[in-house]
Structure 1
Amino acid sequence: MEDLQSCSSGQHITKHTGEKPYMCGECGYRAAKKSTLTRHMRTHTGEKPYLCGECGYRTTRRSTLYQHMRTHTGEKPYKCDQCDYSAAHKTTFDRHLAKHSGEKPYMCDECGYRTAQKSHLSEHMKTHTGEKPYKCDQCDYSAAQKISLDQHLAKHTGEKPYLCEHCGYKTTKHSHLSRHLRTHTGEKPYKCDQCDYSAAQKTALELHMAKHTGEKPYMCQVCGYKTALKSKLSRHMTSHTGDKCDYSAARKSSLDKHPVKHTDEKPYICKECGYRTANKSRLSQHMKTHTRKNDYKCDLCDYSAMTKSTLDYHLKAKHTGEKSYTCGECGYRTARKYNLSSHMKTHTGEKPYMCGECGYRTARKYNLSKHMKTHTGEKPYMCGECGYRTAHKAVLSRHVRTHTGEKPYKCDQCDYSAAQKIPLELHMAKHTGEKPYMCGICGYRAAIKSHLIQHMRTHTGEKPHKCDQCEYSAAQKPSLDRHYQAKHS
């Protein structure tokens, strides 16, 4: 009995002294308790002795298995006495309570970042120390957080166990599936405690809260840059480290093609129209637009397409009106998953694509490709009627209609037709009154996406249209055109 008390007392004392006498011979990890080291060793051996009899899930810890079993039983023993919330796990419950109290007792001595959870502070500290204790056993990748390693390992296995029953979307993480499902349900679980704003994603709420508090807890130790979002700091840090990304591939040919995403090099060119691409197979696919017939015909109009997927999208967008993907932030709906992904960046402020020449950033790779031509001056597309040249094939197609008088965009409620899609969208709003694009800052609504993008610049101060003859820049292209006429013509 005395030996047991002595052992417990010794373990307790290490909490005060910080002593960690037990060391892992594999990676140097140290622990204050032998049992903690035993659990740690399983990260090297892969041993997972605790098995779920319901689904075959395995884990290294008995307590983790108990928590997992609640996903089958639905048990939520932790009840909040301030609202109807209940949770299956104490850590989740503790996080919830912090929303009521607002208490953030854990503070970073380096930059002043505060958090309600000790584990979050531990993770945050790694942004200062650069520590990456989680190692991949199949390549040189290492991570500061276990969740990042788990995501990385899926690149080796290809396993995506979480499936959306609505649209077939698959992912490696349960949390990603939960976020995705909100695009179908419209659920907005993240509430602002200072106004009526609610969001489908936590990052969107964090961005919104910064408007109330002005707080930017994530700081770069190299140059002092501060931001409200951890993901933005991570992106910023690559400007100092030179890191590109952690992409890995199963085949060398795939890896060889990947670097052009960073260089923007496009060595493959179409002799017919000047189209350029980084990928030889993409060029082969493009060449079919000149030689191949549109085999897939629409039964409801004269439209035809080269691929069935393109025809399916046409049917949804033009005839059935089906728009199965919904934005949980503003109610925007679309028939294509890609469009929704692009749209969500207007709420999160994410702009991962950056111009190396002038620092211009955008949410879409296509926009960056267009922007780069403002530096090169390249205009490969030419009108055979009048010699007009442009950097973009779509712009040439619109221009040609000024010669032919073609108006392919038809209103299904009256005789109106238009040469371009945007005038038709504006016209349709007169029939429906619908304005699906909403500003998350002031509530402004627009009938077309381009109007919302222009409006957002009144908040961000962004002026992407640069004069190539002086330092003038403008938020809108017509302003730049007027500048050219007044100052340089």
Structure 2
Amino acid sequence: GYRTVQKSHLSEHMRTHTGEKPYNCDQCDYSTAHKSTLYKHLAKHTGDKPFMCGECGYRAAQKSHLSDHMRTHTGEKPYKCDQCDYSAAQKSTLNEHLAMHTGEKPYKCDQCDYSTAHKSTLYKHLAKHTGDKPYMCGECGYRTAQKSTLSRHMRTHTGEKPYKCDQCDYSAVQMFTLKQHIAKHTGDKPYMCGECAYRTAQKSDLSQHMKTHTGEKPYKCDQCDYSASRKSYLDLHQAKHTGDKPYMCGECGFKTAKKSHLAVHIRTHTGEKPYKCDQCDYSAVQKSTLKQHIAKHTGDKPYMCGECGYRTAYKSDLVKHMRTHTGVKPYNCDLCDYSAADKSALNRHLATHTGDKPYMCGECGYRTAQRSDLTLHMRTHTGERPYKCDQCDYSAALKSTLDNHRYMHC
């Protein structure tokens, strides 16, 4: 029933039924039903990007891509979901959102049972079968299956952060990181869990959250029975088998299996504390530490032990606490029979075998295996006494010392 005023348009439309693709790329095997689409494809070979954003210098091969990009500056979201209040800056993003309502996953892997709602996600999945990683970083040899991933990686060398927040000074390496940041300003959390009313700004966060209800752990270790709900957890676990720790601190030789862990470690040398509390002067090295601090302001402790009534602000703390009832000690030393209820205790124990003390005091040369021990030690130089008694003027450098003092008031 398709109608048009131009015969040429009808000819192009008929190819959607016949599957004919008469326009062929002379540099690869690509073919298409439309001449205009071939021109867009050729830009991948030539690298031509004539359309530039006047706000941030972003360049695109297609005018439509520039139009989509401009909405990151204007905040315009013209594509509306007809089933909820969600709106998007790009039609493709809306289509991804709609898949949440329909559950449709039209893109299927021809080598396994995997299917997905997004074509780009299927391409990433297929790379797992082929192992093909044609894009390589000339600086460090990093390889990837996706050109866009290489572009993002290169910013770790250049320091470029092209995605800028229009409400504050924040800028980001990746667009999705900027979107996560902007959600802090807008408070927008369109993705909601039907089990417990959990809401989030990110679809990926909701997918991860749902596994807490289903118990799903799709990422399996091929060397033992371990399985995980997140790939990042599996990657960390597998490093225990391989011993691979490619990321090393140039200051003290600390090595880790994860780049993000190295970034956090480096702050022990620089003193950087990028995570700021908006209710007091407190700042933290890690985002998780800031969250723990904020709980002191809100008093929110949603996780409760059914055995003794213990409450906490964090699910991970409750998991650790439950081991005091069950006696489970899942962290095992591979050098002796020692086992621990939490990972930090195992790390402290391992230092007795290795003698490794990567944390050093710049004032007196004191060294320790634990960053927390160095923090406590530094108070002997600074005189800091952060633990205050709520019944008198007494303050202490250590929480345990304050606890002992409080017995005087009992």
Return the match for 1:104 from 245, 249, 256. Answer: 245
- Residues 27-58 of structure 1: CA deviation (Å, up to 9, x unaligned): 64332233322222223444333221211112
Give the letter for the 1:176 counterpart: D
* Superposed displacement of residue 121, structure 1: 1.0
In 1, Cα distance between equivalents of 2:407 and 2:368 = 23
Give the letter for the 1:365 counterpart: N
Given that 1:128 and 1:221 are in contact with CA atoms closer than 8 Å, whether structure 2 keeps it comes out as: no
Partner of 1:209: 350
Q: 1:227 to 1:10 in 2, by over 3 A?
A: closer
* Larger relative contact order, structure 1 or 2 (CA cutoff 8 Å, min sep 6): 1
Give the letter for the 1:36 counterpart: T
Partner of 2:394: 260
Give the letter for the 1:68 counterpart: H
Partner of 1:69: 210
Q: How does 1:370-389 map to 2 (within 5 A)?
A: none
Q: Secondary structure at the match of 2:262?
A: helix
In 2, Cα distance between equivalents of 1:117 and 1:217 = 17
Q: 1:138 to 1:189 in 2, by over 3 A?
A: same
In 1, Cα distance between equivalents of 2:158 and 2:308 = 54
Aligned residues: 267
- Residues 45-83 of structure 1: CA deviation (Å, up to 9, x unaligned): 443332212111122322111111111111111111111
Q: 1:175 to 1:155 in 2, by over 3 A?
A: same
In 2, Cα distance between equivalents of 1:91 and 1:258 = 47
Give the letter for the 1:143 counterpart: A
Q: 1:47 to 1:166 in 2, by over 3 A?
A: same
Partner of 1:365: 404
In 2, Cα distance between equivalents of 1:11 and 1:121 = 19
Q: Secondary structure at the match of 1:160?
A: coil
2:319 is aligned with 1:191: no
- TM-score, normalisation: structure 2: 0.59
Partner of 2:374: 233
Partner of 2:161: 20
Q: Percent identity?
A: 57
* Superposed displacement of residue 353, structure 1: 4.8
Q: 1:31 to 1:204 in 2, by over 3 A?
A: same
Q: How large is the Cα RMSD of the aligned pairs?
A: 2.9
In 2, Cα distance between equivalents of 1:47 and 1:221 = 44
Partner of 2:18: none
In 1, Cα distance between equivalents of 2:260 and 2:300 = 28
In 1, Cα distance between equivalents of 2:345 and 2:155 = 41
- Residues 273-293 of structure 1: CA deviation (Å, up to 9, x unaligned): xxxxxxxxxxxxxxxxxxxxx
In 1, Cα distance between equivalents of 2:379 and 2:237 = 33
Please, which runs of 5 or more residues in structure 2 have no aligned partner? Answer: 1-39, 50-59, 61-147
Partner of 1:125: 266
* Superposed displacement of residue 11, structure 1: 4.5
Partner of 2:104: none
In 2, Cα distance between equivalents of 1:33 and 1:50 = 21
In 1, Cα distance between equivalents of 2:169 and 2:385 = 29
Given that 1:132 and 1:143 are in contact with CA atoms closer than 8 Å, whether structure 2 keeps it comes out as: yes
Q: 1:35 to 1:199 in 2, by over 3 A?
A: closer
Given that 1:141 and 1:246 are in contact with CA atoms closer than 8 Å, whether structure 2 keeps it comes out as: no
2:48 is aligned with 1:48: no
* Superposed displacement of residue 222, structure 1: 3.5
Q: How does 1:174-185 map to 2 (within 5 A)?
A: 174-185=315-326
2:301 is aligned with 1:160: yes
Give the letter for the 2:238 counterpart: L
In 2, Cα distance between equivalents of 1:133 and 1:24 = 17
* Superposed displacement of residue 156, structure 1: 1.7
Give the letter for the 2:395 counterpart: K
Q: Secondary structure at the match of 1:75?
A: coil
* Superposed displacement of residue 232, structure 1: 0.9
